[in-house]
Amino acid sequence: MKTIGLIGGMSWESSALYYRFINEAVRRRLGGLHSAKVIINSIDFAPLAAWQAQGEWELAGELLAERARDLERAGADCIAIGANTMHKVADRVEAAVSVPLLHIGDALAAEVRRAGLRRVALLGTRFVMEQDFYRARLAEQGLVVAVPAASDRDVLHRIIFDELCRGEVREASRLWLQALMRQMSADGVEAVLLACTELVLLGEEGPVPVFDSARLHAEALVDWALS
């Protein structure tokens, strides 16, 4: 079994899910008392979130690159960024190490294609929904990407940062998300991508198939570790 190096803390709420998803996948596949070989380098999210809001992506990229180098030196055989938004600097992180970086968007796209689906609703932070770094990655793999209206993107971004990243899971937000998925399904999307690793805290049920980025990324990491 190879060792997974996870850059976490973005937020730690979803990093805790990653650890559970990774180990559940190993136990499911190997049985017995097996667990994952994983090293987690967890950052302080507050300054990083401020850099995101200020557009200081160079600073964010250098921080994650440094953490990736630390993981490689500690013995990690691959690197994973445990967040969707921070894949904006994935190229910078990948260039900083000699081990492979396993991209969360690739894990999502592969599962959607396996399901025979193509037109997807992309739900995540404002950065993920509005900027090209993530949408283009999915489009390159044959997916047709739709995002919510601007007002809904604002609400979703607020729910992520003001609630889920702080450990608050509100029923009103869960119901709002369900309504948004119904609306986008009526508009013709075939699947919903939870492209924020905290969104799974609001549930995975929807009117169309729902694909959780954190869970699928964890499964892809275990696939690689056991290959």
CA–CA dist 31, 35 (Å, integer)? 9
For residues 184-199, average pLDDT: 96
Strand partners, 78: 4
- Phi and psi angles of residue 94, each rounded to the nearest 5 degrees, phi first: -60, -40
The model's pLDDT over 29-50, given as tens digits with 9 standing for 90+, comes to 999 999 999 999 999 999 999 9
Task: List all residues 6 or more positions away from 205 whose beta carbon is below 8 Å from its beta carbon.
Answer: 178
Give pTM, 2 decimals. Answer: 0.95
Co-location of 91 and 161 in the same domain: no
Co-location of 139 and 97 in the same domain: no
* CB crowding 11-43: b at 16 or more within 10 Å, else e: bbbbbebbbebbbbbbeeeeeeeeebbbbbbbb
Co-location of 204 and 112 in the same domain: yes
For residues 138-167, average pLDDT: 97
The model's pLDDT over 164-177, given as tens digits with 9 standing for 90+, comes to 999 999 999 999 99
Co-location of 9 and 89 in the same domain: yes
Task: List all residues 6 or more positions away from 115 whose beta carbon is below 8 Å from its beta carbon.
Answer: 191, 209
Dihedral angle over CA of 208, 212, 215, 220, nearest 10: 90
Instruction: Output the pLDDT for position 27.
Output: 97
Co-location of 17 and 89 in the same domain: yes
Dihedral angle over CA of 155, 110, 211, 125, nearest 10: -20
Instruction: Output the pLDDT for position 216.
Output: 98
Mean pLDDT of the chain: 97
CA–CA dist 60, 182 (Å, integer)? 35
Instruction: Output the pLDDT for position 111.
Output: 97
CA–CA dist 148, 129 (Å, integer)? 8
Co-location of 82 and 169 in the same domain: no
Instruction: Output the pLDDT for position 166.
Output: 96
- Band of residue 123 on the pLDDT scale cut at 50, 70, 90: very high
The model's pLDDT over 96-108, given as tens digits with 9 standing for 90+, comes to 999 999 999 999 9
The model's pLDDT over 12-24, given as tens digits with 9 standing for 90+, comes to 999 999 999 999 9
Range of the domain at 201: 105-212
First-to-last alpha carbon distance for the chain, in angstroms, is: 8
Co-location of 139 and 98 in the same domain: no
For residues 72-92, average pLDDT: 98
- Phi and psi angles of residue 183, each rounded to the nearest 5 degrees, phi first: -65, -45
Co-location of 114 and 206 in the same domain: yes
CA–CA dist 113, 148 (Å, integer)? 22
- Contact of 197 with 214, CB cutoff 8 Å: yes
Instruction: Output the pLDDT for position 13.
Output: 95
Find, among 110, 102, 108, the residue nearest to 123 by Cα. 108
For residues 156-166, average pLDDT: 97
Co-location of 111 and 206 in the same domain: yes
188: which 2 tokens? 């013709």
Instruction: Output the pLDDT for position 116.
Output: 97
Co-location of 91 and 152 in the same domain: no
Co-location of 133 and 82 in the same domain: no
CATH number at residue 45: 3.40.50.1860
What's the structural domain count of the chain? 2
For residues 57-66, average pLDDT: 98
- Band of residue 183 on the pLDDT scale cut at 50, 70, 90: very high
Instruction: Output the pLDDT for position 206.
Output: 92
Co-location of 184 and 117 in the same domain: yes
